[in-house]
Chain A
Amino acid sequence: MSLFSKNSDSLPVFWIKYLDAFAKEKKEKSFFKKTADSKGLQNTRFVVFDTETTGLDYKKDRILSLGGVAVVANQVIVADTLELFLKQDFYNPDSAQIHGILKQGNYLKVNEEEAIAQCLDFIGTDILVGHHVGFDVAVVNQSLKRAGLGRLKNRHLDTEILYKRLVHPANRSLQDKRYTLDELAEALKTPLHDRHTAAGDSLITALVFIKIVHKLNSDGEMKLKHLFK
């Protein structure tokens, strides 16, 4: 964390809560070392999330919308969902045609700090899942940085990397191939709709994630830690 971090009095409440949750979890983990490991896949809340941004440069571009949905025990929990559209002054006309969020789009919009607060509250200390999730984490970290806060502390899983573990050895030459979300969805026979809305992409990613985990866990014995192997 930055040497110049603000003293804790001036930090926003949501950030303190976010850090506290991790501290608490760490404490519990060291206390119940064994039980924490065996918590198992079935009881873990994964947050599948996706951002739509003004472009692909995580330093320069801004978040236009942010969507997430919880996955617990092979199920997408629709009630446990987050979908935000952000007010941004920065606007990149090149990417609007992909996701169709116009600067003056007809959505209820929140400012960036409010979005970050809601997002952190939603994800808590849970594991983030996304397709090329590194990018989404990076843009959220940029927002946090602009707000003078630290980086995301959540562990995260990339569906592309997980999917590659399923590729049959006979097709080993495909290991270096890059997969788009559309390709994964197609390969895993997941219906595509609402592509390029953050929440729609989260649903597709969630189904893709559930299918991949199910296939990796064919013997039913997989532990959470195996996902991070």
Chain B
Amino acid sequence: MQNTIATRIYDFLKQFPPFQFMASDDLFKISTLANVLYLDKDQILFSRDELYSDRFYIVQQGAIKLTRPSGNKTKVVDICDEGDLFGLKVTSENTYRTTATANEETIIYTIPVEAFSAFAKANKAISNYLIASFASNIKDPYTLQQNGSLLNTYEPDRNQDLLGLQQANYSKNVVSCDPSATVQEAAQLMQSSRIGSLVVTSNELPVGILTNRELRNAIASGTDTTSTLTKDIMIHPVVCAPGDITVGQAQLMLIKYGVNHLVITKDGTDRSAIIGILSKHDIVVSFGNSPAELIKEIKRAEKTKLLRMSWEKATVILTNYLDQGLPLSHILNIFSELKGALIYRTMELSLAKMSEPPPVPFTWLALGSQGREEQLLYTDQDNAIIYENVPAEKEEATKAYFLRLANRMNKRLHKVGYDYCPADMMGSNPLYCLTISEWKEKFKGWIYDPSPESMLLSGIFFDYRRTFGSQQLVDELTAHIYSLLGDSSIFYRFMAKDALKNPPPVSFFRNFLVESDGAHKDEFDIKNRAMSPLIGAARVLSLYHGLKNVNRTSTRYEQLAMLEPENRELYESCAYAFKALLKFRVQQGLKNGDSGRFIQLESLSKSDRLKLKRCFKPLRDVQEVLRVRFQTQNLS
């Protein structure tokens, strides 16, 4: 019997090892026995310690993450993508060593082990391949150095700490000399120890540093001779630091004192014993993955896969920043830069793949939380395209071009790590890929003819920000919107009403209100009940005041505090509350590996609960401001 589906599977498998080593008849037989399995993002295929299934797996589309516990954390052992084989029992173990989770939407071919192993045993090439790939598949943090990987094509770089907050590495092997040693003696010592710097000590305490550079300068300039004494050319006083100095602090000290070396001493002063020496070079090495480096990496990336790696690194940076208790506005700034660079580069790559350059100037907009620069993790794409008006005869072709571009962009962003927008608010949706005039009309409709439905859209679209392309188009749109807003009080009322529609966070008796049914029963919805109302209020108030180019909720409140001195205190506490909530949500999200939106109250300490509750007071008060100012009660 003809079997088109099996043929399709056969065509796919034969591209990849070990199937490419099989005779086509055998491979076709195996293909007819395959099943096609769909997994949604984060769905688990099998868990560690579960008994092996009688089938093994090949990724057809998407990616599978293999993890295992390490301490109380989870380590990513491997990420399998297209054509990778996994879940095949090779040793005598009866249970899976790792947990397999879909890293994104994934389609998998499952194949019965029994049918396959009959061929595998008979075929040397296959068994060799399986042994080799198994050897590379068991790699874990301890065997990472053995990089003979055949199967995995990318993996987050887990060995390096990614920011300036980890303890600095310094050399504990310090060679020292006496201040009265001659330059020649010092040079000989350096040569025999194969080092580039000496600590000059007196009574075991550091008094100076001598490096290749001082020697070179002293001799080459001809002012000194080999009999010059070390103390005359050494750098002094020495800059000392304690052993637990972080890379970031060390870098600051090097810059501040204009030196290339720090001497590490027991108590961090030059009055205690030397324990090591830290050079600028050490810093550069450990800074290989700082945000600044990451941005460079993004700008240079030639492939979407590399961008994806940068994204994974960014998440590690985020975790560490939060652990270190860095101010949230600082974190938001860094992330905004990182993600901006990521999207910019993605657009450059997408444009390079187009057969021709864009016919007219255009702008790629980030919307919603991305537009507000408040996205830190697990993010959807919300984006849109504005392009310049074109003559009627060119309309169709131009729109088709930008839709094609947006399609590429959405797909690439998906690969990088952004989920598709469930409501399809993306540039590839013809409704949101429009000329500047069409956009103006669209906003006009939302402003002059508001409805509860259009408010769903306004909530996203009024928080737009340029991430690529012409700023002029954005400015034109903004100016247009404000010229319309001036005379549309009905719009403010709808928008204020929308900001008030969310259920309250606490009951009359100051108890948390939790979800009463559904998947998150008895959990607290921090997004809906606390954050969205604050975001909504900030949006309508800043539109009301004509604030331009300010999207971030906390910044909006800070600016509102200046515009309305009578409400300064309230707005300042709103800004503070919002930052606290966002941080709270991100921490919860990182802890539970989800969006952090739903919080199990039992998991919170009493002080965290109190902290959370303190954020609700400004929320209540600012909602009262909306009610009074925009007369929302009269709106049916």
Contacts and interface: CB of A to CB of B under 8 A. Distances in A.
Contact of A67 (B4, B31, B61, B453): B4
B518 interface: yes
A171 interface: yes
A169 B457 CA distance: 10
Interface string A143-185: 0000000000000000000000000111110000000000000
Interface string A117-161: 000000000000000000000000000000000000000000000
Given A170-B423, A170-B456, A193 B8 contact: yes
B38 A200 contact: no
Interface stretch (A16-24, A73-81, A91-99): A73-81
A207 B36 contact: yes
Contact of A207 (B38, B420, B431): B38
Nearest to A218: B519
Nearest to B39: A74
B118 interface: no
A23 to B, nearest CB: 30
Interface string A192-225: 0110010110110011001100110011100000
A85 interface: yes
Given A78-B32, A78-B34, A199-B3, 16 more contacts: A75-B36, A75-B38, A75-B110, A81-B3, A81-B6, A83-B3, A108-B1, A168-B423, A172-B453, A187-B424, A189-B105, A191-B61, A202-B5, A210-B38, A211-B38, A214-B38
Given A83-B2, A85-B2, A189-B105, A76 B36 contact: yes
Contact of B519 (A74, A168, A219): A219
B397 to A, nearest CB: 21
Nearest to A73: B37
Interface in B1-53: 1-6, 8-9, 31-38, 40
B422 interface: yes
A76 B34 CA distance: 9
Contacts of A200: 4-5, 8
Given A108-B2, A219-B518, A169 B453 contact: yes
B264 interface: no
A169 B423 CA distance: 8
Interface string B411-427: 00010000010111100
Given A170-B423, A191-B61, A83 B4 contact: yes
A69 interface: yes
Interface in B266-280: none
B424 A78 contact: no
A83 B1 contact: yes
B382 to A, nearest CB: 12
* Nearest 7 interchain pairs by C-beta: A76-B36, A199-B4, A168-B423, A170-B456, A75-B35, A219-B519, A210-B38
A203 B34 CA distance: 13
The residue in A78, A107, A197, A199 that gathers the most chain B C-beta atoms within 10 A of its C-beta is: A78
Interface string B42-75: 0000000000000000000100000000000000
B42 to A, nearest CB: 12
A84 to B, nearest CB: 8
A197 B6 contact: no
Q: Give the interface SS of chain A, mostly helix, strand, loop or mixed.
A: mixed
Given A210-B38, A214-B40, A219-B518, A69 B105 contact: no
A189 B420 contact: yes
Nearest to A215: B40
Contacts of A211: 38, 105
Contacts of B423: 168, 170-171
B4 A78 contact: no
Contacts of B31: 78
A169 B3 contact: no
Q: Give the interface SS of chain B, mostly helix, strand, loop or mixed.
A: mixed
18 contacts: A76-B5, A76-B35, A76-B36, A78-B3, A78-B36, A81-B5, A85-B2, A168-B423, A171-B423, A189-B420, A193-B8, A199-B3, A199-B4, A200-B5, A214-B38, A215-B40, A219-B518, A219-B519
A107 B2 contact: yes
The residue in B2, B37, B424, B453 that gathers the most chain A C-beta atoms within 10 A of its C-beta is: B2
Contacts of B519: 218-220
A97 B357 CA distance: 35
Interface of B: 1-6, 8-9, 31-38, 40, 61, 105, 107, 110, 414, 420, 422-425, 431, 453, 456-457, 518-519
Nearest to B2: A83
Nearest to A172: B453
A79 B32 contact: yes
Interface of A: 67, 69, 74-79, 81, 83, 85, 107-108, 168-172, 187, 189, 191, 193-194, 197, 199-200, 202-203, 206-207, 210-211, 214-215, 218-220
Contact of A78 (B2, B6, B456): B6
A107 B4 CA distance: 12
Nearest to B107: A207
B369 to A, nearest CB: 16
A76 B107 CA distance: 11
Contacts of B36: 75-76, 78, 203, 206-207
A2 to B, nearest CB: 33
Given A170-B457, A200-B4, A78 B105 contact: no
A75 B4 contact: no
Contacts of A85: 2
Nearest to B455: A170
The residue in A81, A170, A202, A206 that gathers the most chain B C-beta atoms within 10 A of its C-beta is: A170
Contacts of A199: 2-5
A108 B9 CA distance: 21
Contact of B33 (A79, A172, A219): A79
Contacts of A171: 423-424, 431
The residue in B33, B38, B107 that gathers the most chain A C-beta atoms within 10 A of its C-beta is: B38
A203 B8 contact: yes
A103 B457 CA distance: 52
Nearest to A70: B35
Contacts of A191: 61
A205 B2 CA distance: 19
B356 to A, nearest CB: 23
A163 to B, nearest CB: 12
B32 A194 contact: no
Contacts of B420: 189
B385 to A, nearest CB: 18
B457 A78 contact: no
B342 to A, nearest CB: 21
A194 B3 CA distance: 12
Contacts of A214: 38, 40
A169 B4 CA distance: 38
Nearest to A69: B5
A218 B431 CA distance: 27
Contacts of B453: 169-170, 172
A220 B520 CA distance: 12
Nearest to B62: A189
A75 B5 contact: no
A87 to B, nearest CB: 15
Contacts of B35: 75-79
A75 B518 contact: no
Nearest to A213: B38
